[in-house]
Structure 1
Amino acid sequence: MPENGHQGRRDGNRQSDHSCERYGGDAVMNQTTEALVREQVELTRDIFRMDLDAPRASREAVPGQFLALLPGIRTDLILRRPISICRADPSLGTITLVYQVKGAGTKALSRLTAGDTVDFIGPLGRGFSITGQAEHLLVIGGGIGIFPLLHLLEVYAREHPRVARHACLGFKTRDQVVLENEFQAATGGPASLVITTEDGTYGEKGFVTCPSRRILEQWGRSVRVCACGPKPMLKAAAEMALGAEAACELSLEERMGCGIGACLVCACKMKAKNGEQDWVYGHVCKDGPVFPAEEVLKWLI
């Protein structure tokens, strides 16, 4: 997943054991767009939701993709900030971004108000697979990793409503819990959403992998798992899913520079496809941020 958080175009790649189309990854890299900020609100401390007027991006966006942004105000910023797409509404022509303020770039973005502009490239990267083959979709999110998973659930609700949707979301403490109502609506009701906090101040006490394991034990290989969050969580989620013979995709979190595969900042190890070597370097921004679990699990440290 980048720094924070409908039908796409097919890239022609097929996954191995659980085949289905993977989407995204063919955006015009040099195409910049100026978008108007419709609204920006602070959801909780240092977590902001920004709604943009972006008709083209809202039509093309695939769950798991991101935008590379510069605030449309005078700053000394050089590098764009990659922000995951949280929602895309083609009917309104809007993109919703939810992000955490971490440094100068996101701080500048957080100062924008309705009527300001941002300059972005995207949608970028390869997103999650959209398939009706599985009976159940389980999304597992940790912290700011939950944001792109809302878009995924909403697309499934629209395109594959017969697939049962489940969400397990983990946070450190109650004050960090956001988007609960939105995830309830996207899964179809509170019974399909489990929230955990590490300190037990809200929802179940413990790690998000505990309720995820219960769902996998119940439904097994009929589940498709999509996860986004810290590497230890991704590793645990992938091991559980593959152990249950369930298809699994992971959205990786890495720092990015350019967002288009030119600067090599977000290099990661991934399984080699030629069979002549064990692994090769890929780039999270271009080869990902979403990968089949079996391509990257061995090198999640």
Structure 2
Amino acid sequence: MEKPIIATIEKSVDEAEEIRTIFIQHTIQAKPGQFVMVWVPRLNEKPFAISYLEKDVLGITVAAVGECSRCLYEMKPGEKIGIRGPYGEPYHLQENQEKGCTMIMVGGGYGSASLTLLAEEALAKGMHVKFILGAREKKRLVYVERIKKLIGEENLLITTDDGSAGRKGFVTDALRTLIEQGEKIGKVYTCGPDKMMKAVAELCTAHNIQGEISMERWMKCGFGLCGHCCVDPLGFRVCVEGPVVSFETALQVKELGTYHRMQSSRKEKL
């Protein structure tokens, strides 16, 4: 089993209410959509998507939800954590697309972490990108300024459940509008709550639009040994065959948007 590399937290940046990005000095060869296992000393180890990736700097975005994540969220510069990885299947950019096609990123809450990194890669390859960013309320929106700088304010569509920022409603409302307006869509990528991703996949499938989701499940090993993250009924390991899977595969996972398994393997309804 790969041992964690001990790294020092260089800085932390608040992204939204109780959502913070932790930066460490660490060189890693990773692709958008892959994850790392983060060890919080004397507590636990948990998977996190990579949200910032530069030559020798790695960023992971943490929401203060649950004991392990809250402890990591509260850690200060100078404190140490362990890093293993990267692991998992990354996103696959749809290259050689017909001219004028747009890659659509649909992110919900801090699920937008890996999508923002993917948007950077798509732009570096000369692709046109639009980003639909959703949250329950304005104070839960992440990466707004970062995304504006990447793709321009005109290509960022914001939705909030309560209408406190952008369009009132869900990300699927904004996506449906783009489809109905005739947007030439190459591929859709989505990450966020299960129910949101399932709705995005169903909407796109109904309009013959290809895409991928990034699933989040409880993981213990990160490399396919323990089988804890296997999903019903296909049995694929989210840490190896995922976390990124096609819409076609995702819609065969009966637990998607319905339930997931806790650390104890007990089913919990969503």
Band of TM-score, shorter chain: 0.7 to 0.9
From 62, 68, 78, the equivalent of 2:37 is 68
Give the equivalent residue in structure 1 for 2:147.
183
Retained in 2: the 8 A contact 1:216–1:223? no
SS at 2:197's partner residue?
Answer: helix
Residue 149 (structure 1) aligned with residue 115 (structure 2): yes
Trace 1:164-243 onto structure 2 (pairs within 5 A). Answer: 164-186=128-150, 188-219=151-182, 222-243=185-206
RMSD, aligned α-carbons:
1.8
User: How far is 1:220 from its partner?
Assistant: 5.8
**Which structure 1 residue ranges, 4+ long, deviate > 3 Å from structure 2?**
217-222
1:48-88 Cα deviation digits (max 9, x unpaired): 11111111x1xx111111110113x5x2x2x4111111121
Q: Does 1:95 align with 2:27?
A: no
Alignment pair present for 1:260 and 2:223? yes
Distance in structure 2 (CA, Å) of the matches to 1:164 and 1:240 = 21
The letter for the 2-side match of 1:175 is K
Q: CA deviation at 1:156?
A: 1.0
Structure 1: where are the runs of 5+ without partners? 1-28, 270-278
Instruction: Provide the C-alpha distance between the structure 2 equivalents of 1:43 and 1:250, rounded to a whole number of angstroms.
Output: 23
Superposed displacement of residue 120, structure 1: 1.0
Distance in 2 between the 1:53 and 1:256 partners? 24
Match of 2:75? Answer: 112
Ranked by relative contact order (alpha carbons within 8 Å, sequence separation 6 or more), the top structure is 1
Contact persistence 2:135–2:141 (CA under 8 A):
yes
Identity of aligned residues (%): 28
> TM-score w.r.t. structure 2 length?
0.87
**How far is the alpha carbon of 1:145 from its aligned partner?**
1.2
**Structure 1 SS opposite 2:251:** helix
The count of aligned residue pairs is: 252
Tell me, yes or no, if the aligned pair for 2:47 and 2:222 is still in contact at 8 Å.
Answer: yes
- Offset of 1:248 from its aligned partner? 0.6
CA–CA separation in structure 2 for the residues paired with 1:149 and 1:122: 19
How far apart are the structure 1 equivalents of 2:224 and 2:197?
23
Amino acid across the alignment from 1:141: G
2 CA distance for matches of 1:280 and 1:174?
37
Q: Tell me the secondary structure at the aligned position of residue 137 of structure 1.
A: strand
Q: Gapped runs of 5+ residues in structure 2?
A: 259-270
TM-score by length of 1: 0.79
* Structure 1 CA distance for aligned equivalents of residues 181 and 170 of structure 2: 19
Q: Is the Cα contact below 8 Å between 1:254 and 1:284 reproduced in 2?
A: yes
Distance 1:193 1:123 in 2: 29
Q: How far apart are 1:221 and its partner, in Å?
A: 6.3
Partner of 1:3: none
Deviation at 1:288, TM superposition (A): 0.5
